[in-house]
Structure 1
C-alpha cells in the first residue's frame, strides 16, 4: 500500500540583519535599518503516517528567499521541515524550517525554528507563528553565523496555507479528506498537549526528578506473566515490586449483585475499577480481568499445553515445544492441575462425549487439565449438592486456605470457596514470602529510561476508590518486566513510543501480528435434554480438531458454561420485570427451575490469521485523547472461525439441539475474545520482532515483556499455560 503524502505552501517574513547571531538582536537591527527577509516554501511530507508517528522523520522544504542584501527570489532547492521535534527540554519541542541555497557561488544555510512550549499567559499563537532564524555560511547549520532575525506568519498567510493543503496521491476526495483530517488531528492534539493540559488538565505524572533505584525489578501486571516472573525473581533474592491496576480481591468482595463493582473503565478508573474490563474495537471486543492475579481471576481454569504444530513457524529457533516442556510441567505442579473426576461429570461434559461419539469423533474427545481442587467424594446426588457447605477446606502448600469444588459454576466471577488455583493463591504469595511487594490499584502510565544509569522509571496513578481520585507517583528499578496483558502491554509501549517519546527506538513491529485466538461461543437449545450449564466447572472437556482434519482448519470445541449468577438473575427477571415475558419464555424452554438448563454454550478456539495490527490514534475533537485502535480483517480468519461454528452446529444436531449462531457474527462478523495474543512478538531481531527469545526488548536492555503479547501466532487453544511457561523461561535468564 502506497504511503499517503501531504503538501502545503507557507510564507513567513520579518526583520533580519547581517552581522549578528542573535535572532532578537537581528530583528531589532533589521527594523532600524528597514531590512526584511521572507521565505516562500513548499512543504512536502512523503509518508504522513511515519511523519506523525516518528518525530525524527522530517518532511522536505523547497522554495525561494527574498533578502535584498543578497537578492530576491533566490532558489532553495533542498531543505528540512519538522513538527514537534524533541529538544533537550522535555517541555519544549521545535517546529523546524531549514533551507540550503547559494549566492554568488557561496553556500548558505537558513535555519529556523519555532519554540513550542507553554509559558505564562496564552502564547499558542505567538509560538506557532514566530520563527527564530539564523543564516549560516556553508552547507549546514554547523557553519559560521552571518545573520539572524525573526520571521512571522500572518493571518492572511495562515489562510493561504490552509487553502494550499493537498494530498497528491490520494485515491479520491474521501481519502484526501481523511488524510487532511489525520494531519489536523495530529497538529491540534500536539498543541492541546502543550498549551491546554498544563493549564487546565490533570497532571498525569509526578514532577519529581529522582534517579534512585527503589527496586531491583518492577513487574507491571500480576497475571500469568507477571506473577510467575515476580515469584521466580524474588526467589533469586531480587527486590521485587508488582504494580497491579486492579484491586486485591477477597471472596467476600467478589461482585454478585447489580450494584457491585463489576466493571473497569479505562476512561474513569477512579470511579470504575471493578472485576472485568471489556474494550470494544472495530469488529472485535476484548475481555480482560482486573485485580491481583490478572487473567487467572476470570479464566475458565483450562491449563493446557500448546500443541507441537504451534511452534513450527513464527517463533525464534530457541523456542520449541521441547524447550517449553519442562516449564509446562513446572507450572502444572504450581497450579495443582487435575481433571474432573469420573464420578462427577456435569451434564454438559456428558453431552460433549455423547456428541463426539455420535459424530464419529470419539478419539478426539479430551478431558481438560484444570487448575481446580476436586473432592473425590463430591456427588451430584447429595441434597443441596452445590451448597458451599460441601466444600472441604484445606491449607495449600503456600500457607493459604482453600476449598474443594462444589460445581457452583461461578468460576469466571470468583470462586467463593477458593477451589480454583488462581495466581493470588500460589505464585503471588510465594513471591511475597520471598520479599516481593504487591501494590494494587497502581495504574501505570509511562516508562522512561533513567538518565545516567541502567534502569527505568515507571510513572503511575494510584487509584483512590473512596475519594474517586488519581494520585500521581513513580518508582525506579534496574529491570522492568512488562506483563500488563496483551492489550495493556501493547498500549503502554505504543504510548511510550508514539505519544510520550520515552521509548522511541521500539521496533516497527510493535502492534503487528495481533490474534483473537479464534474464540467463539454458539448457544444451542434443547427441548428434551437437561444441560444445566451453570453447574460444574465453567469448562471441562474438548473435542480436538487441531490437526486440521476438518476443512484443513485447526480448532477445538469446548463445553462452555455460565455463572450460576445468570441463572438466578433470569429467575428474578422472569418473576418481576418490564420484560418479564421474554425471560419467562426463556425459562419455559424446560420444566425445571433452572431457566438455562436447556442451553448448551458450545465454545472453542481456532487458529486465526494472526494478522491484526494495534495502533495509537487520536480523537479529532478536544481533548484529542490518544486511544488504542485495532485493525483486524475478518476475511483472513473467517474460514477458521466458520469451521468452528459449523462443527458446533453438527455436534448440536447430532444430540438433538438447535444451534443459534449470534447475529453479531452472521450479520456483522463481530467477535469477542478473552484470549488476545501478539503485538510484541518474539523474533530473531528488531526487524521481525519486538523482544528476543528471552523476552528482552530489542534496543532496551533490562526491559522485558512476559505475557500473551509475545506469542507470535494463534495457538488455537487456551493460552494461559503457554504464557506461564514462557514467563518461567524468561525468569530463568534474568540474573540479579
Structure 2
C-alpha cells in the first residue's frame, strides 16, 4: 500500500496587474500596497514514487486572496514540483502552480523558487522562501502574462507549515514518523547538494561554461562496447575521444603482490584505482575490471555467439540472431578466435569431456572459441612448460607485439606474454591509428545536454595516482556513447537523472531488468586425481544444456580455472605468515606442491529471471551521499541456478569427485557474477526500454549506450561477443 503525504503552505507578497516581471511587480505592488496571498495544500499521493521520480511531481489545491479579484478564490487544480531541472545543471526550481477562475475567466498562477548557491553569500533561506510569480490569462502558461510579483514564506508561516504535515494511509505513529523522515531527508539532501557542497565541499565539477565542441564523439569506457564503437567511428573519419576510468596497464604493472594495485573504488578513486572493481549488494556481488580494454582484461577469453533462442523474445524486431551473424563473424576475426589445440588439453578440459561421456552427454561437449593465440608446438611434457621463455612472439595485424599461450593460468589477472587478444591489442590501437584519443584515469561524473542543442558536455575527474588527488574537467562532443559497463553505465545515467537532473527525461524503466546471467561456481574435490585448475586457459570447454532439456532450465557447464597466483600466495604464506603452519598443512593436502590441484571449479551460466532493479538512494544523514542499490530476489531465478548446480553434482559423481556446494548458496542464496547485464535495455519505445535498436537513448538524439546494460535479458552464456556484435552494428548505423 502506498503512503501519501500532505502539508499546507501560505505565501504572500506584493503583486501588480499589468506587469510581466516579478521584481517589477513586487516593486509597484509595494508602492500601491497591493498584495496576493496563496494558501496551498500540497499532496504527494505516492511518497515513494515522488521521491524516486526525477520530476518529483505532486499536486496543489487551495485558495487565493487578491483584493482586485477578491478573497478565498477556490483553486481546485495545480502542480507542485520539487527541484525541477533547468537548462543550467546547477539550478533547480521549486514549482507552485494553481488554476482558478474570476468572473468566468480562467487564470493560471505560476511561481518558482530558484535553488542555487550564490557565490557571494549563503542564500539558502531567501531562495527557499522566495517565489517568483506570474499570473497568466487562460488555463496554463501558454496565455499572456497579466500580472506578476514576489511571494515569500515567513518564519511563522514555516512553523505553521510543519504543523500541518499529514500522512494519510499510515497505520501507526511509527509509520507516519518514518514517512516524514524520508521526505525530510530527501529535501535536506537536495539542499545539501545545492548549497553546502558548492560552498564548503570539494569542488569536483568544473564550473566553466564553454560550449565549444571538442570532439565529434566522446566514448565513455573502453570495454567491448566502447573500444569497438570508438574504433569504427574513428575509421569513418570522426574525431573520437575515449575516456577510461582505469589505468593503461602494461605487463610490468599487473598486480601480483598483495600490496599491488588490486582494488578499484568508485567512492575513493584517488586512493584505490586498481585492477578489480568488486561491488557487494544484498545477496549479490559483481566483479568488474578497470583499465584500458575494460572487461577484456579480466574475462576468461570466451568469445561465443548467443544461441538463436535468446532473440525470440524481449528484443526489437530489427535485432535477430541472423541479423547479428555478420557482426559475430567480424568480431571473431578481429580477436583471432581459436580453440585449444588437441595436443595441449589441460587436465580439467580432459575431465570435462570424460564427465560428458560418463553421464551420457557426450554430444553436448563443446570446445570453446577463445580469443587466445596458441603455439601448435606447446607441450606440457617439456621442462618448466609454463615459463615465459616458451612463448613465441610476433607483431600482430595492429602493430602490437604478442606472444603465444604458455598455459600459466593467469588469464584473469593479466597475461604475462600477451597471448590473450584483449582490446588494448586490436580495436584500441586501430582506433588510435585513425586519430582517436584515449584518456585513461578519467572518471566520468555526469552528462549534460549543451544549451545550444548541438551535443553534450561530459564532466569527469582526472585521477592523479601519484598525488592521490582528483582534478575536475570536461569535454564537449556532438555525440556521446556510454559504454562504462553494466554497473557503471546504470549508475552514471541514474545519477544524471535522479541526482544531477541533467537528463531528467530518461526512461522510467532505467535500472530495471538487471540480470546476473546465472553465473555460478561449484568446487569439487577429486581425491588422488590431479586436476590442476591453475594450468591452461581459464575456461576451455562447455557441456551445453541451453536447449532446456534438463529440468526445463537453460544453462551450460564450463571448466573453471584459477590464477597461478594462488600457488605463489600459499607457498609464500606457508613460510612467513603468522598462520604459516596452516598453509604448510594445506600444501601437504595437494599434489606436486600445487595448491588446489585436486579441485575442479565447475563453472557455468544460466538463463535467470532478469528481474533485478538498480536504483539510486541516499543516506538520511549528512552528507546525504548517493549510492546505487541493487534489489535482487533469487526467487524466480533459483530454479535455473539450482539446475546448474545439480548438473555440477552429477558430473562430479560420474567422474569420482565430490561437489562442495558453497554455503553462500545452500544457506544464504547469495551469488557473485562477472557478467552483469541489463538496466538500460533495448526496447521499442521509452515505455519498455532505454535505447532503441540502434543503441540511441530515447528522447536524447546523439546519446548512445553500447555495453551489456542494453541486453534485455540473460543470454545464459558468456556475453562478450554479443556485446561486441551489437557495438559493431551500432557503429555501422551511426551517421558521421
TM (norm. structure 1) is 0.94
Q: Kindly provide the CA deviation profile for residues 598-644 of structure 1, in whole angstroms up to 9, marking residues without a partner as x.
A: 21111110000111122122221222222212122210111101111
- Report the CA distance shift for 1:40/1:228 in structure 2 as closer, same or farther (over 3 A): same
Q: What are the equivalent positions in structure 2 for 1:233-272 lying under 5 Å apart?
A: 233-272=233-272
Asked if 2 retains the 8 angstrom alpha-carbon contact of 1:617 and 1:626, the reply is yes
SS of equivalent residue, structure 2 residue 593: coil
TM superposition shift of 1:169: 3.6
Structure-2 residue corresponding to 1:710: 710
Structure-1 residue corresponding to 2:293: 293
SS of equivalent residue, structure 1 residue 547: strand
TM superposition shift of 1:660: 1.7
- Report the CA distance shift for 1:620/1:710 in structure 2 as closer, same or farther (over 3 A): same
Which whole-Å CA distance do the structure 2 matches of 1:707 and 1:391 have between them? Answer: 33
- Report the CA distance shift for 1:638/1:163 in structure 2 as closer, same or farther (over 3 A): farther
TM superposition shift of 1:453: 4.7
SS of equivalent residue, structure 1 residue 656: coil
Show structure 2 runs of 5+ residues with no match: none
Which whole-Å CA distance do the structure 2 matches of 1:475 and 1:502 have between them? Answer: 15
Q: What are the equivalent positions in structure 2 for 1:81-230 lying under 5 Å apart?
A: 81-102=80-101, 109-119=108-118, 120-133=120-133, 139=139, 142=143, 145=146, 148-154=149-155, 156-170=156-170, 176-230=176-230
Q: What are the equivalent positions in structure 2 for 1:403-552 lying under 5 Å apart?
A: 403-552=403-552
TM superposition shift of 1:20: 6.8
SS of equivalent residue, structure 2 residue 9: strand
- Report the CA distance shift for 1:373/1:13 in structure 2 as closer, same or farther (over 3 A): same
Structure-1 residue corresponding to 2:74: 75
Structure-2 residue corresponding to 1:732: 732
598-607 vs 85-94, which moves further: 85-94
TM superposition shift of 1:208: 2.4
Asked if 1 retains the 8 angstrom alpha-carbon contact of 2:85 and 2:502, the reply is no
Which whole-Å CA distance do the structure 1 matches of 2:139 and 2:258 have between them? Answer: 70
- Report the CA distance shift for 1:683/1:39 in structure 2 as closer, same or farther (over 3 A): closer
TM superposition shift of 1:70: 5.8
Structure-2 residue corresponding to 1:619: 619
TM superposition shift of 1:486: 1.1
- Report the CA distance shift for 1:196/1:600 in structure 2 as closer, same or farther (over 3 A): same
SS of equivalent residue, structure 2 residue 547: coil
SS of equivalent residue, structure 2 residue 330: helix
Which whole-Å CA distance do the structure 1 matches of 2:463 and 2:446 have between them? Answer: 16
Q: Kindly provide the CA deviation profile for residues 526-550 of structure 1, in whole angstroms up to 9, marking residues without a partner as x.
A: 2221111111111111111111111
Q: Kindly provide the CA deviation profile for residues 256-305 of structure 1, in whole angstroms up to 9, marking residues without a partner as x.
A: 00111111110111111111111112221111111111000000011111
Which whole-Å CA distance do the structure 2 matches of 1:19 and 1:690 have between them? Answer: 45
446-455 vs 344-353, which moves further: 446-455
Which whole-Å CA distance do the structure 1 matches of 2:687 and 2:147 have between them? Answer: 44
- Report the CA distance shift for 1:188/1:368 in structure 2 as closer, same or farther (over 3 A): same
TM superposition shift of 1:672: 0.9
SS of equivalent residue, structure 1 residue 634: coil
Structure-2 residue corresponding to 1:345: 345
Which whole-Å CA distance do the structure 2 matches of 1:662 and 1:290 have between them? Answer: 28
Asked if 2 retains the 8 angstrom alpha-carbon contact of 1:527 and 1:590, the reply is no
Asked if 1 retains the 8 angstrom alpha-carbon contact of 2:13 and 2:149, the reply is no
Asked if 2 retains the 8 angstrom alpha-carbon contact of 1:684 and 1:693, the reply is yes
Which whole-Å CA distance do the structure 2 matches of 1:260 and 1:7 have between them? Answer: 54
Which whole-Å CA distance do the structure 1 matches of 2:84 and 2:354 have between them? Answer: 65
SS of equivalent residue, structure 1 residue 592: helix
Q: Kindly provide the CA deviation profile for residues 419-452 of structure 1, in whole angstroms up to 9, marking residues without a partner as x.
A: 1111111111111122221111111112222333
TM superposition shift of 1:96: 2.4
- Report the CA distance shift for 1:23/1:446 in structure 2 as closer, same or farther (over 3 A): closer
CA RMSD of aligned residues (A): 2.5
TM (norm. structure 2) is 0.94
TM superposition shift of 1:99: 3.1
Structure-1 residue corresponding to 2:8: 9
Which whole-Å CA distance do the structure 2 matches of 1:346 and 1:173 have between them? Answer: 65
TM superposition shift of 1:254: 0.4
Structure-2 residue corresponding to 1:63: 62
Structure-2 residue corresponding to 1:684: 684
Asked if 2 retains the 8 angstrom alpha-carbon contact of 1:130 and 1:153, the reply is no
Structure-2 residue corresponding to 1:328: 328
Q: Kindly provide the CA deviation profile for residues 324-375 of structure 1, in whole angstroms up to 9, marking residues without a partner as x.
A: 1121111111111111112211111111112222211111111111111111
TM superposition shift of 1:718: 0.3
TM superposition shift of 1:65: 4.2
225-234 vs 204-213, which moves further: 204-213
- Report the CA distance shift for 1:226/1:134 in structure 2 as closer, same or farther (over 3 A): closer
SS of equivalent residue, structure 1 residue 317: coil
Which whole-Å CA distance do the structure 2 matches of 1:130 and 1:223 have between them? Answer: 48
TM superposition shift of 1:213: 2.2
Which whole-Å CA distance do the structure 1 matches of 2:316 and 2:487 have between them? Answer: 22
Which whole-Å CA distance do the structure 2 matches of 1:478 and 1:461 have between them? Answer: 21
Which whole-Å CA distance do the structure 2 matches of 1:501 and 1:297 have between them? Answer: 33
Which whole-Å CA distance do the structure 1 matches of 2:348 and 2:498 have between them? Answer: 48
Which whole-Å CA distance do the structure 2 matches of 1:319 and 1:132 have between them? Answer: 50
Which whole-Å CA distance do the structure 2 matches of 1:78 and 1:546 have between them? Answer: 56
TM superposition shift of 1:74: 4.2
Q: Kindly provide the CA deviation profile for residues 38-87 of structure 1, in whole angstroms up to 9, marking residues without a partner as x.
A: 54432101243443344545321223445667655443322322212234
SS of equivalent residue, structure 2 residue 265: coil
- Report the CA distance shift for 1:151/1:430 in structure 2 as closer, same or farther (over 3 A): closer
TM superposition shift of 1:584: 3.8
Which whole-Å CA distance do the structure 2 matches of 1:70 and 1:455 have between them? Answer: 47
- Report the CA distance shift for 1:348/1:80 in structure 2 as closer, same or farther (over 3 A): same
SS of equivalent residue, structure 1 residue 372: coil
TM superposition shift of 1:158: 3.3
Which whole-Å CA distance do the structure 2 matches of 1:161 and 1:598 have between them? Answer: 70
Which whole-Å CA distance do the structure 2 matches of 1:116 and 1:125 have between them? Answer: 10
TM superposition shift of 1:241: 1.6
Q: Kindly provide the CA deviation profile for residues 368-421 of structure 1, in whole angstroms up to 9, marking residues without a partner as x.
A: 111111111111111111111111112212121111111111110000111111
SS of equivalent residue, structure 1 residue 475: strand
Q: Kindly provide the CA deviation profile for residues 677-697 of structure 1, in whole angstroms up to 9, marking residues without a partner as x.
A: 111211222222222222222
TM superposition shift of 1:252: 0.7
TM superposition shift of 1:35: 7.3
